[in-house]
Every structure is written in structure tokens, then in C-alpha cells.
Amino acid sequence: MSNTIITIGREHGSGGRLIGRKLAEELGYGFYDREIIAMTAKESGFTEEFVSRMEHTRTSSFLYSIYAATREMPLTEQVYLVQSNIIKEIGAKENCVIVGRCADYVLRKEPGCIRAFLHAPIEERVRRVREFYGEDRGTEEEVKANILKMDKKRAAYYDYFAQRKWGQAQNYDITLDTRMGIDTAVRILKTVVEEWKKE
Amino acid sequence: MSNTIITIGREHGSGGRLIGRKLAEELGYGFYDREIIAMTAKESGFTEEFVSRMEHTRTSSFLYSIYAATREMPLTEQVYLVQSNIIKEIGAKENCVIVGRCADYVLRKEPGCIRAFLHAPIEERVRRVREFYGEDRGTEEEVKANILKMDKKRAAYYDYFAQRKWGQAQNYDITLDTRMGIDTAVRILKTVVEEWKKE
């Protein structure tokens, strides 16, 4: 039987990392979020900082596509490829929760892959980011602008590599508004996994 | 305390009506789907057939917007308005499950409203429609074309009246791919309702 893999796409500030980690703990599964960056860096020879930046420089601009066409394989594609292989290896190795990195798309052919997407109203995310995320300092307006910028980058990265819309319900097995609370979201996702395994 | 209302948006053939009815039965809630058409007809004086047609004639075409601007209130808007008031009355009266009809948008200010959206891969929906829905006869290709046409109409109706994207995860508290099975979807939605009521 194939491993059970829960992939979590998420809006910035929706609590995706926290929910993913709690879910993994409760299920006794492996947990992979930024860990994948370190693994990709090690495998590719690029630095972690560079890999992390590549994840957020994907654009759908016309100029970029011209630039990309002039190269054998642009750096973002190289990083994506290494990262995708690492994600496939993780999924083949153990039951796990993987946050971000188009993992739902990379593992689309895995029968044991449950694709989740988490989001929350922007006010809720501003509150959460200011309260819990060390890196987001500034006025409420600045934090909000930064969150929306992060979302835009994630959407562009996903839309480019997965060739479909980030946050479109039809691309996921389950999506949740995390305004219902972190623990509630974890319990619901756990129910989904348990139900899934019954099938 | 306000009533608990589960609204279900759904792709054609995803089992939304069946899941909604089972969920309502298990929770002991009221169930409203096509019942709302009869109520709207009675209230507005239009026939049921006319009300039903109006739900599917909404277009976002430029010509229609010119046409609409020349009238005090176009018929689709009149029907929508009567229907919305009925939905609000139902929500104020009892705990319930309401399928379709932009109910999630109509009841967006109700704190007890849980907004769900159900979808499934097209092959799964073709199979389900051919197996369970009397009205969809024809070749596989014809059934598929009809399903996609229905989705397009629902999307246009929703996008016009709710002014946002049908099937966009961020517009719902939960979305599910019903390829996981009807009973599984019912159990997950029931968990969501129970968790919600705990908060």
C-alpha cells in the first residue's frame, strides 16, 4: 500500500505550518516544510538562501519567458526539479505532511496523496502574523501589504509550475478557512485522513 | 444564539444534493434545495419553471448589461431578490442545509453560516450523473458537455450576484472533492459542524 501524504498549500498567515506540524505529530507522520529547502540546497549545491529566494522569484512576466527561452534550463526550473525529486523521495519513504512547494502537484499521481489548502480572512492573518511570526514587524498596513505580496508570489510560483490556479477548490481534496481555529482545523484534517484510510 | 446553516455550492454531478440531504437528516436539520424554487414561485407570482430558468440565464455579457440598464429591475434580479429573502427567512427560522442559490453569499453576515463547496473530477461526475440522475441521457461525451454547461451557468450566476468567483477556496469555510465518497463527505461535514458549534 502506498504511503499517506498530506500536502498543505496555504495563504501566508493562515497557520499552515503550525497546523501541518500538529497534524503530523498527532498522526505520528514525518513533517516537512522549510526542511525541504535545506535538503534541496544540499542536493543542488546552491545555498539555502538562494533556494529560498528562487521559490519566490517565479514570475509569469513576458520578459521572463523571453529570458527563460534563451537558456538551457533557468535556475528556478533547476531548483524546482531538484526539489520535486526530493518531495517524491520523501513521499516514497514514509507517511508525511508536506507544506507548500507545489507538493500537491508534484505528487498528483500518488493514490495516497491528500491535497489540502488553508486560507483565512486577511484581518485574521494580519492578527496572527503580528502575534506569532517574529519576522513581520511594522504597521498593520505594512504587515497586510507584505502578506498579500507573499500570497502573490506563492500563487505565481504555483500557477507557473503546476499550470493551474493556486487556491482553486477543484485542485484540492479539501480546503479550510482557518478562522475556525488551529485545533479545529487539525481535528478536521485528521478526520479526513482517517476516513480516507477506511476507503 | 443564531441558527447553524450549512450552505452547499456544488459542481453538477458532484453529489451535492445527496450529501446535503444526508447531512440534514443526520443532524436533524431542515433541508432546502429545489424546495426554494417552489417557495420563490409562490412568493413572486412567477411559475416554478420560469424561476428555475431565471436561475440559469444569468450571463455576464456586455449586451445583457446594456439591456439590464434600460429596465428598472430585470427579471433575473427580481427573482434573485425574492429568493434571497426566502433564504434569509429560512436561516432565521431553523437550523438547516441549503443547496445552491448563492446561499453562502446571501447569508454571509450570519455568524452561524458554514459555507461548503463540493466538486469532483469530471470522469467521476459523468459516471455519477449517468448512474443516478434520470435526466442525463446520451453518450458519455454528451453527458460531459452538459455537465460542463451546467457548471458554466452556475458559475456565471454566482459570479454575477455574489461578485466573486464560484469555486474559489477563499469564498468557503470548507471545500471537498467528493471522489472520497458520499458517506465520507457527509461524515467530514458533520465533524465540521460539531467542531464549529464547540467554538
Confidence band (pLDDT; 50, 70, 90) for B57? low
Compute the radius of gyration of chain B from its Cα atoms.
17
Interface test with A, best of B174, B179, B189 (most A CBs within 10 A): B174
Average pLDDT, chain B: 88
Cell (9 digits) for B133: 440522475
> Do A44 and A51 touch, CB atoms closer than 8 A?
yes
- Torsions phi, psi of B61, nearest 5? -70, 155
Rounded Cα gap, residues B23 and B185, in angstroms: 9
Residue that the C-alpha cell 469532483 belongs to = B120
Q: Is A167 within 8 Å of B172 when comparing Cβ atoms? A: no
Kindly list the residues from chain B whose CB atom is less than 8 angstroms away from the CB atom of residue A170. 11, 119, 167, 177
Rounded to whole angstroms, how far apart are CA atoms B6 and B96? 6
Cα distance between residue B21 and residue B49, in whole Å = 23
Q: Chain A: nearest CA to B59, how far in angstroms? A: 22
- DSSP assignment letter at B55: T
Cell of B164: 466573486
Whole-prediction pTM value? 0.90
Interacting residues of B164 by C-beta distance below 8 A, sequence separation 6+: B105, B158, B171
CB contact A109 to B (< 8 Å):
no
Judged by a CB distance cut-off of 8 A, whether residue B155 touches chain A is no
Secondary structure of residue A116 in the 3-state scheme: strand
Q: Each residue of A106-163: pLDDT tens digit?
A: 999 999 999 999 999 999 999 999 887 765 578 888 899 999 999 999 999 999 999 9
| Coil, strand or helix at A16 | helix
> Is the minimum CB–CB distance between A175 and chain B shorter than 8 Å?
yes
Comparing A2-6, A154-158, A182-186, B63-67, which segment has the lowest mean pLDDT? Answer: B63-67
When CB atoms are compared, the residue of B169, B175, B191 closest to A188 is B191
User: How big is the CA angle at A47 (ends A41 and A51), to the nearest 5 degrees?
Assistant: 65
**Looking at the complex, does the CB of residue A196 fall below 8 Å from at least one CB of chain B?**
yes
Instruction: Kindly state whether A112 is in contact with chain B, defined as any CB-CB distance less than 8 angstroms.
Output: no
Nearest chain A residue to B165 by CA: give it: A168
Q: Where are the alpha helices (DSSP H) in B14-113?
A: 16-27, 35-44, 48-54, 62-69, 75-93, 103-106
- What is the distance between the alpha carbons of residues A182 and A168, in angstroms, rounded to a whole number? 22
